Amino acid sequence: MSKQNIVIIKYNAGNIRSVSNALKRLGQSAEITDDKEKIARADKVIFPGVGEASTTMEYLNGNGLSEIIPSITKPVLGICLGMQLMSKHSEEGNTDGMGIFNNSVVKFKAQNEKHRHIKIPHMGWNRIFDLKSDLFDSSLEGDFVYFVHSYYMPKGTETVSTTDYGIPFSSAVQHNNFFATQFHPEKSGSVGERILRNFLKL
């Protein structure tokens, strides 16, 4: 795979270094930056995140990143909180997102007596099904990936991967050049590496 100009968006969220290290294992280096011109010029942009929605969105708004991200025309990959902030709205902190994906984010809760044992956050390994994106090889159907989240995006027209945790939810979505995963590919072993590699091939 040829070297690419890859940017990881820098903001007040965790797991950025782990994403950078995952790319290094694939033979690619990435610049971690909040420079809007560098982000706009990149071949690939990764928007990771571990944190709280409202304070993170406030940071993005204050630094102009919430304006530049939706305008990117090259492939963009949002991860976990990054995916949620690309939605229309999140129940976490009653936060308006960037509206890239035409769906909102809600909190896990027990749907009925049968699911009252559901633990929040949804943390650990779970399967991905109904794969419908170039992010995924068909052979990844039913494989395990790693999740850590209390909020989720319900299934919708942009859903390209489904996971079940008491109810089915969107474990990945896609709209045009914007891709996002609720799970952490950088923490999902060889399956996650294949997904990242597929993103780099786009």
For 159-181, b/e burial (b = at least 16 CB within 10 A) is: bbbbbebbeebbbbbbbeebbbb
Strands (E), the chain: 6-9, 30-33, 44-47, 76-79, 89-90, 95-96, 104-107, 122-127, 144-149, 151-152, 159-165, 167-175, 178-181
Q: Which of 113, 122, 186, 193 is catalytic?
A: 186
Each residue's pLDDT tens digit, 109-156: 855 555 566 788 999 999 999 999 999 999 999 999 999 999 999 999
Q: Which of 122, 149, 158, 184 is catalytic?
A: 184
Does 22 score more than 60 pLDDT? yes
CATH classification for the domain delimited by 6-201, as one of 3.55.10.10, 3.40.50.880, 3.40.640.10, 3.30.1330.10: 3.40.50.880
Active site residue 80: yes
Active site residue 184: yes
Q: What is the pTM of this model?
A: 0.95
